Amino acid sequence: MDPAFESLLVRASEKPKALSVPELARLMSAADAEERRALHAAAYAVKTRHVGRRVSVRGLVESGNACAKDCLYCGLRRSNARVERYALSADEIVAVAEAAKARGYASLVIQSGEIESEAHTRFVEGVLKRVAPLDMGVTLSLGEQTDETFRRWKDAGASRYLLRIETSDPAFYAKLHPSGHDWRRRVACLQTLKRLGYQLGTGVMCALPGQTPEMLARDVAFFGDVDADMLGMGPYVPHPDAPLGPAAEAPDNAVRLRMGLNLIAVARLHLHDVNVAAATSLQALAPDGRERGLLAGANVLMPNLTPVRWRAGYQLYPGKPNLDESAEEATAALERSVAAIGETILWNARGDSPHFSGIATSVAPRSSFVV
């Protein structure tokens, strides 16, 4: 192997944020099998140093697919008239949470399209208050909102928020979104969430058309700049009813998966103690995609506990796995696949981000990061 590549891995493993953007880009570009194996093994070693060979789980409920946004890559975009829109009732969401808790999930993720309205804010507030007695870690992933809405949801019991920046490059963001979608507002939301004391989750997709390893390296540096506690990253999978189309550099699922695994590994090597989710899109690309994500440095899985009858309505991309798998089946399959790679699921544990736990008193955004 290239000795310069190897020495990058050694330096990155020693301490967080040890590498420059060009050096991160070099790791991101690892293409031959030997380099990729070494990259993933180094990231796995850093992960195990911080969280052991243990996997934190969150039950995912996709609470609705209506969306006011029109992101050019997403199957749920508001212009996609083929999607039948649904919204779970508060009772249904609470029932998922109760069943999840009974099964050993101590954390829940509520995700949906983006809706900004007083009625929606109040609805989510009501759900959070009903879920609070279950004493679960609750992550929201409900898009951009006002500071006031974020505050109300925090007060009602949400402790984590996942808002992917999608790309740290404003010009590239403008290519992925139509007008009216504002990168600066997304960054401002991340800063507000941090200030309010949420565990902050962000992330990007990889394998997007026009994206380079340097851009992804800058994305990883950005995660450090906003002091992210958790990351959700996965390969972009083109959707036939969304206009973005595929990337020439990522013509097939195998290449997309490779990029996704490299991104997880590079982010782990740069940030060390954050929670990193193995995104569902990895599993859409290969049956063992999630497990390979764990072996490349991820430590969080989010099995889909959305009632089966609604699941097909939440297709960001084609090939979404487990459309008809019940929550029991999902949990059993998860146990088997995680055990097969020598890891253990942490049931009945919230699995808070070690990064957050260590800095809980310091929530001010970096002063160097100016919008």
Binding site for ligand SF4 (CB under 6 A): 67, 69, 71, 74, 76-77, 113-114, 143
Q: Which is nearer to ligand SF4, 76 or 124 (CB)?
A: 76
Distance of alpha carbon 24 from alpha carbon 192, whole angstroms:
28
Least Å distance between CB 333 and ligand SF4?
Answer: 26
Give the gyration radius of the chain's Cα atoms: 19
Q: Which residues pair with 275 in a beta bridge?
A: 230
CB atoms within 10 A of CB 356: 22
Measured from the CB atom, the residue of 71 and 162 that comes closer to ligand SF4 is: 71
- For ligand SF4, give the closer residue by CB, 260 or 297: 260
Nearer to ligand SAM, 202 or 345 (CB): 202
| Partner from ligand SF4, ligand SAM, none binding residue 163, C-beta < 5-8 Å depending on class | ligand SAM
- Give the nearest distance from C-beta 307 to ligand SAM in angstroms: 18
Residue 74 C-beta: closest distance to ligand SF4, Å: 3
Could you give the CA distance from residue 182 to residue 340 in angstroms, rounded to a whole number? 43
Report the distance separating Cα 327 and Cα 303, nearest Å: 8
Give residue 345's identity as a one-letter amino acid code.
I
- The residue (of 247 and 296) whose beta carbon lies closer to ligand SAM is 247
223 binds, among ligand SF4, ligand SAM, none (CB under 5 to 8 A by kind): none
Q: Which residues bind ligand SAM (CB under 6 A)?
A: 67, 73-74, 76, 111, 113-114, 141, 143, 163-164, 166, 205, 234, 236-237, 239, 281, 316-317
77: partner contacted, choices ligand SAM, ligand SF4, none (Cβ within 5-8 A by kind):
ligand SF4
Between strands 300-301 and 344-346, the pairing is: unpaired
Q: How far is the CB of 83 from ligand SF4 (least distance, A)?
A: 10
